[in-house]
Amino acid sequence: MSYNAVGVLLAAGESSRMGKPKALLPWRGTTLVEYQMNSLLRGGCDKVIVVTGKYDVEMAPLLKDREGVIRAYNPKFLEGKTTSIKAGIWEVPDGVHSIVLLAVDQPRPAWVIEKVLKVHTDFGAHITSPGFDGHGGHPLIFDAGLRADLANISEETEGVRAIFKKPDVDHHRVKFDSAIVRLDINTPEAYENALAAYAELARPNG
């Protein structure tokens, strides 16, 4: 199933709290970055742009010659996440309907991406995101019409939050019954907990 969408996977960070590159952590029989690439492709993205930074050299062999995968190095990764988003947006091809934004430390099974992407396509909002228990989650899906807005975000104006706050932008939140849409791995402890809980968390449900 394809939704004329491109995934932008943010994997440029220093992983300072983890102490080693998060993108290369073992995950479900592969690495975290490869798991996320596969989920985005299986979830409906035609291509996945993987934004690298501090660990570009270590990650490059995993991204080389992968069908549907584009590697985008962000030389400004130390200046914050917005620089990585912009580096990814720069590589988005023309003619795309939707842009799926996800960080490498937010592991999502393909069914989550597919569900949010399908609602985004059917509902027609400018931005679609998942939610659980009253809180927002990821991935964030943007209509390609917001590409210029995404290319102009900055750390000073709260990054993508500034786009959400625009009065003419319609945001639709898809309710989930699983905390999977909130999972974020920043520390060794969070990684161990996520490994233990993921099979249950990631099981498809409403």
Q: How confident is the model at residue 88 (pLDDT cuts 50, 70, 90)?
A: very high
d(CA 30, CA 52): 18
Residue 36 backbone zone (phi > 0: left; psi -120 to 50: alpha; other: beta): alpha
Residue 47 covered by a domain: yes
List Cα–Cα distances, 120 to 4, 65, 114, 116, 117, in angstroms.
12, 30, 10, 6, 5
What's the mean per-residue pLDDT of the chain?
94
Give the residues across from 132 on adjacent strands: 135
Residue 206 covered by a domain: no
Residue 149 covered by a domain: yes
Containing structural domain, residue 96: 5-200
Residue 110 covered by a domain: yes
Q: Which helix (H) or strand (E) holds 90?
A: helix 81-90
d(CA 173, CA 116): 9
Phi, psi for residue 64 in degrees, rounded to 5 = -70, 135
The 10s digit of each residue's pLDDT in 34-74 is 999 999 999 999 999 999 999 999 999 999 999 999 999 99
Task: Work out the angle at residue 9's Cα, subtended by the Cα atoms of residues 139 and 60, and round it to the nearest 5 degrees.
Answer: 160
pLDDT at 2: 55
Residues 6+ apart with CB under 8 A from 128: 116, 117, 119, 120, 140, 141, 171, 172, 173, 174
Residue 205 has pLDDT above 80, yes or no: no
pLDDT at 15: 87
Residue 205 covered by a domain: no
What is the number of structural domains in the chain? 1
- CATH number where 171 lies: 3.90.550.10
d(CA 30, CA 15): 19
Residue 56 covered by a domain: yes
Q: How confident is the model at residue 93 (pLDDT cuts 50, 70, 90)?
A: very high
